[in-house]
Amino acid sequence: MSETNPSAQHFLDLIRKSRRGKFKIYIGMSAGVGKTFRMLQEAQALLRNGIDVKIGYIETHNRKETHDLLEGLPVIPRRKLFYKGKELDELDVQAVIGLRPEVVVIDELAHTNIEGSKNDKRWQDVLEVLEAGINVISAVNIQHIESLNEEIKNITGVEVKERIPDSVLGAADEVVNIDLTADELITRLKEGKIYRPEKIQTALNNFFKPDHILQLRELALKEVASQVERKVESEIPRLVASRREKFLACISSNESTARHVIRKTARLASYYNSKWFLLYVQTPKESQDNIALDKQRHLINNFKLATEMGAEIVRVQSSNISEAIIEVAEQREITTICIGKPHITLIRVILATNLFNNLLKKLSSSDIDLVILS
């Protein structure tokens, strides 16, 4: 049987999935909603029912009611290491895999590991633990989801640096939203249950404004609803066959616009539980010899971002961008092409070739949708 045989590959995927640990994520609109508290409550319940559950990494933030829930739970010692003259600690992935508990609790999914660690991010540690067949319970805030990065910045005015790819959330077997009203969360903040007293007023003046909280709460609720919908669609067979969506994000060497198109397309693909591709058409003006080094670096970073968010990268060389887009779309059986707003370089080039109308006609006749992302 050929290694590329689709039937064999499907069976292999089923085997790998059966060996992989189950993954549960608690998600919240912000710090302080009770994700860690709920994880520890669940760990205590599992322990009472005879399940071998251990704490791999937990951050109680010195909250007494949360810290009290650690009592009686086996804790795996953290890995100690020195960084810039300070002793710091991290999740000990190898210790977790060596002990092989049935369930391990690993907090702070979006955490960036200390320089020199095997993995750059904790979500990569978690995937490694899952691949070892160990079930994981973890937690993350909505602002750490990669495809929501720009939306979060527009709401809060803060660009969140620590992020996880949407595919990590999509890999979860269960996503649970820990929900509080804005008033409840602000009350917890004022009572000192989230931050130390000296940080409370700053938090109230910035991230914890009522309108911010309401918008973040809506995003969290929508995200969990989407996850449930995708799970239903993937696990319950449909009686009527429907068109399977495939998205093609088209970018130029414009860094900021490209990242916007990537995140928006990833969001669409995640919502429809669909495959997506990233297309960069390299024109003679941007050949290896002509392209500026900073643009080349931005392209590489954007390819990496798209890959982390689940895209397959397609690079083609052509002096005619419109025709290249059509050709790739037909080859990959794309249903929706996504491009940036008309002010970006890509659209200027398309319009300059006088082939934009031909592109639209071609897409229309082949039943491919065109989405211009704002």
- What ranges do the domains of the chain cover? 17-235, 247-372
Strands, DSSP E only, in the chain?
23-28, 53-57, 79-83, 86-90, 103-106, 135-141, 174-178, 246-251, 275-282, 312-317, 336-339, 369-372
Question: What pLDDT does 77 receive?
Answer: 96
Helix axes 182-190, 197-205, angle to 10 degrees: 150
Tokens for 19? 């060996």
State pLDDT tens for residues 287-315: 877 888 888 899 999 999 999 888 999 99
Number of residues assigned to the chain: 374
pTM for the model stands at 0.74
In the DSSP assignment, the letter for residue 144 is: G
The yes-or-no answer to whether 17-235 and 247-372 have a common fold is: yes
Q: Which residues pair with 55 in a beta bridge?
A: 75, 105
Phi, psi of 83 (to 5 degrees): -145, 120
In the DSSP assignment, the letter for residue 241 is: -
Task: Determine contact, residues 248/334, Cβ cutoff 8 Å.
Answer: yes
Report, as ranges of residue numbers, the positions in the chain whose pLDDT lies below 50. Answer: 1-4, 239-241, 344, 352-353, 355
State pLDDT tens for residues 2-58: 444 666 766 667 676 778 999 999 999 998 899 999 999 999 999 999 999 999 999
CATH code of the domain made up of 247-372: 3.40.50.620
CATH architecture of 17-235: 3-Layer(aba) Sandwich (3.40)
